[in-house]
């Protein structure tokens, strides 16, 4: 029940972040809902497609679509108020990243994927929706530009793989790994840490 609650919290957070980005891009209500749904469900759909699960889980359960669409509509209607809750949205987003990255890895391992593949699939589950959101809004995906986001998801995925290899209880491993992801994400936001960026080459004077 706890993991299910955290999963829906993550869905709401991802849908809200996608809807906020769509509002800032001046999309209409339909566009806001589409971007919100894509942000929240995109990573899970990618995971299921990579694992050969058809149709994807999120498209077989109407509650996923309903919760995400409702969150996007709330943001569309009350976006000034939601924008003021930036820290709460970022924290919920971190929880969603942790839950989806670790649960995605667990699903991949249970489906028979190798540890290496499961970790990559788990990371994709966490970051995939945000990457698609940025592409829809004609932006370079945030995970490729700044912030320690993908690495946090990959760390959690590796923790799940290690716990699985040691035959530890699955629920405990998933929960602890998700906490690790959230802790890394919150710490990097608090300290304003970013991944290194290459310095542009200096132009030679003629």
Checking if the pLDDT of 203 tops 70, the result is no
126-175 pLDDT tens trace:
999 999 999 999 988 878 876 789 999 999 999 999 999 999 998 899 88
pLDDT confidence of 100, banded at 50, 70, 90?
very high
Report pLDDT for 22.
Answer: 93
Task: Please state the rounded mean pLDDT for residues 64-81.
Answer: 94
Taking the mean position of all CA atoms in its chain, how far away is CA 144? 14
Burial class (CB in 10 A: 0-12, 13-18, 19+), 201: exposed
Residue 3's pLDDT is what? Answer: 66
| Tokens describing residue 99 | 């839950």
Helix ranges (H only) for 52-114 are 57-60, 62-84, 86-110
Token pair of 8 as six digits: 């829906």
Which helix (H) or strand (E) is 37 found in, with range?
Answer: helix 29-51
Nearest to 152 by CA among 109, 97, 107, 103: 97
- Does the structure show a pLDDT above 90 at 82? no
pLDDT band at 185 (very low <50, low <70, confident <90, very high): very high
Q: How confident is the model at residue 197 (pLDDT cuts 50, 70, 90)?
A: confident
* pLDDT at 84 > cutoff 80: yes
Q: Please, what is the angle between helix 86-110 and helix 115-136, to 10°?
A: 140
Dihedral, CA atoms, 153, 159, 160, 165, nearest 10 degrees?
A: 150
pLDDT at 90: 83
Radius of gyration of the chain measured on its C-alpha atoms:
17
pLDDT at 205 over 60: no
Confidence of residue 1 (pLDDT cuts 50, 70, 90): low
Gap between the Cα atoms of 88 and 146, Å rounded = 20
At 85 the pLDDT is 83
Q: Which band of pLDDT confidence, cut at 50, 70 and 90, is reported for residue 115?
A: very high
Burial class (CB in 10 A: 0-12, 13-18, 19+), 92: buried
For a pLDDT cut of 90, what percent of the chain falls above it? 60
Question: What pLDDT, on a 0 to 100 scale, did the predictor assign at position 204?
Answer: 52
Structure tokens at 157: 């995925």
């Amino acid at each position: 029940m706890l993991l299910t609650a955290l999963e829906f919290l993550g869905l709401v957070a991802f849908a809200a972040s996608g809807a906020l980005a769509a509002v800032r891009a001046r999309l209409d209500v339909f566009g806001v809902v589409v971007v919100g749904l894509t942000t929240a469900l995109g990573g899970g759909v990618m995971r299921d497609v990579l694992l050969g699960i058809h149709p994807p889980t999120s498209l077989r359960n109407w509650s996923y679509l309903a919760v995400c669409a409702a969150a996007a509509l709330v943001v569309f209607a009350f976006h000034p108020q939601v924008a003021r809750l930036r820290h709460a949205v970022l924290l919920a987003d971190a929880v969603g990243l942790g839950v989806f990255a670790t649960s995605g890895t667990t699903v991949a391992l249970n489906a028979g994927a190798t540890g290496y593949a499961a970790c990559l699939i788990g990371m994709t589950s966490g970051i995939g929706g945000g990457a698609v959101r940025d592409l829809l809004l004609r932006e370079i995906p945030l995970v490729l530009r700044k912030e320690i986001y993908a690495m946090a998801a990959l760390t959690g995925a590796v923790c799940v793989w290690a716990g699985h290899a040691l035959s530890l209880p699955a629920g405990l491993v998933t929960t602890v790994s998700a906490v690790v992801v959230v802790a890394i994400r919150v710490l990097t936001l608090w300290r304003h840490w970013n991944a290194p960026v290459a310095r542009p080459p200096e132009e030679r004077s003629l």
